[in-house]
Amino acid sequence: MDEADSGARIDRVLAQAIPSLSRSRLQVWIADGLVSIDERVIKTASHRVQAGDQIAVFAAEAPEAMAFAPEAMALNVVHEDTDVFVINKPAGLVVHPAAGNWSGTLLNGLLHLDAQLARIPRAGIVHRLDKDTSGLMVVARSLQAQASLVEQIKQRAVNRRYIAFTHRAPTPGAGTIDQPIGRDPRNRLRMAVLAGGKPAVTHYRLVAREAEGTTARIHCSLETGRTHQIRVHLAAVACPLVGDALYGGRPITVEGERIERQALHAARLAFDSPGTGARLSFAAPLPDDLAHLARSLRLDRDLKTQGDFADDSWPT
């Protein structure tokens, strides 16, 4: 260590010596015990260096490096052929790696399921569900299949239908919410109905309401797929999702079970097979937490034995 740096903080000295790394990243490395002075580990970023100190840095692998690492996980594969996987995603599983979730995502699990997906952008994922939304997703297994599915989504040929449990019932009981969505300027974690936002269209139908009118089951279908679209649109008509604190919902407890995640499930998915052109349709029953909610509040009157809801309950 040069005389000129004597008395300086070790994180500042390292930031000057290694300009390719941010000071915050170096502070994490220091806290993790990856920096030593004269073979003595230093864990305090404010440590003052002295002339003649021999500083060693043991480079840590950036968490981003794990973003495309295969990870074994129990995925619920509803359908598999040479062109696609159809996955029933559980609530709590992040779809894409991002800050705070560089591993343990659906993408990591898909790469373990099929190593060939590493050759496809986003491991074949062509649409997403929020972390705490459960239900069906289609994943392409080839570049050709991905191109087909992306075009089908663009042409609105992919049918996506959702079951939502909301505080209050919408008026009227069936309709279309056609309001643009953009990033909320007051809270960057949220989306909002905004003039100048991207076009967003949600069709909905009220199917059942709880006797006291405080909770309802709504079926939705999408023409567009904006971030948080159903959550934003239903909140905009004063019907926020049960458990969706970000958009004005709140947890509820029914018969001893607490629902704290947004009560939204991607229940049906239909698209044309990229390989054969045949129409493929899939249904995913409500997961246990939402099935319990529906039963307890008697919002399941048209529930069929396989856990799917009657065809005529869906908006067109």
Task: Write the CA distances from 63 to 154, 204, 254, 275, integer angstroms.
Answer: 33, 40, 39, 37
**Do residues 142 and 210 lie in contact, with contact meaning Cβ atoms separated by under 8 Å?**
no
**Do residues 118 and 68 lie in contact, with contact meaning Cβ atoms separated by under 8 Å?**
yes
Strand partners, 206: 218
Matching residue, tokens 């997961």? 287
Q: Which of 5, 83, 130, 244 is catalytic?
A: 130
3-state helix, strand, coil in the chain (%, to 5): 25, 30, 45
Strand partners, 220: 162, 204
Is 114 assigned a catalytic role? no
Report d(CA 301, CA 298) in Å as an integer.
7
Q: Which of 248, 217, 218, 219 is nearest to 232 (CA)?
A: 248
Backbone angles phi, psi at 106, to 5 degrees: -55, -40
**Do residues 286 and 279 lie in contact, with contact meaning Cβ atoms separated by under 8 Å?**
no
- What the block records as the tokens of 16 is 């000057």
Report d(CA 312, CA 316) in Å as an integer.
9
- Positions marked catalytic: 130
